[in-house]
């Protein structure tokens, strides 16, 4: 039974997530705390946070990997079945907590997880695009 510990670096990472409304890449996080810890440490912290279901991993259409804090509802089993929006202009990724796709699968597939990412223009960029 591995116990997780609270370290300075982990706290710093969580604080960054708390302040951000959008998903963050490893690089974006590391830039904000490069005086606190090593690059590798950030990778390991992110791995642990994902494992502990505190953060979830998002991959956008281009293959960019980002992380966002999980908003736990009253669910027992924690599945990230909400959608993500990737803005083509500002490159920000946001969680669309309320957008959940419905679909019909062929038989003989066992679905454990889904990733539903939409791309285009976010409200901000759509308005400034006139």
Partner DNA sequence: AACCAAATTGCAACAATGTTGCGATATTAT
Partner DNA sequence: ATAATATCGCAACATTGTTGCAATTTGGTT
**Cα–Cα distance between 104 and 15 in angstroms, integer?**
39
Q: Which of residues 27-86 bind DNA (CB under 7 A)?
A: 27, 36-41, 43-45, 47-48, 63, 65
Q: Tell me: does residue 92 bind a second copy (CB under 8 A).
A: no
Q: How far is the CB of 25 from a second copy (least distance, A)?
A: 11
Contact window for DNA (CB under 7 A) among 21-29, 78-86, 98-106, 116-124: 21-29
Q: Tell me, rounded to whole angstroms, the distance of Cα 113 from its chain centroid.
A: 15
Q: Tell me: does residue 109 bind a second copy (CB under 8 A).
A: yes
Given the complex with a second copy, which of 6 and 127 has the nearer CB atom?
Answer: 127
Given the complex with DNA, which of 45 and 122 has the nearer CB atom?
Answer: 45
Q: How far is the CB of 114 from DNA (least distance, A)?
A: 20
Contact between residue 20 and residue 58 where contact means Cβ atoms under 8 Å apart: no
Q: Which of residues 53-82 bind a second copy (CB under 8 A)?
A: 57, 59-63, 65
Contact between residue 59 and residue 92 where contact means Cβ atoms under 8 Å apart: no
Q: Tell me: does residue 90 bind a second copy (CB under 8 A).
A: no
**CB environment 76-100: b (16+ within 10 A), e (fewer):** eeeebebbbbbbeeeebbbbeeeee
Contact between residue 58 and residue 46 where contact means Cβ atoms under 8 Å apart: no
């Amino acid at each position: 039974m591995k116990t997780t510990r609270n370290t300075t670096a982990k706290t710093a990472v969580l604080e960054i997530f708390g302040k951000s409304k959008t998903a963050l890449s490893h690089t974006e996080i590391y830039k904000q705390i490069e005086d606190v810890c090593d690059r590798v440490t950030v990778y390991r912290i992110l791995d642990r946070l994902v494992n502990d279901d505190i953060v979830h991993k998002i991959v956008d259409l281009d293959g960019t990997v980002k992380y966002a804090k999980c908003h736990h509802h009253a669910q027992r089993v924690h599945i990230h079945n909400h959608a993500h929006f990737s803005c083509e202009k500002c490159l920000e990724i946001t969680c669309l907590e309320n957008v959940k796709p419905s679909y019909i699968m062929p038989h003989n597939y066992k679905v454990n997880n889904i990733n539903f990412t939409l791309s285009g223009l976010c409200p901000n960029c759509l308005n400034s695009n006139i």
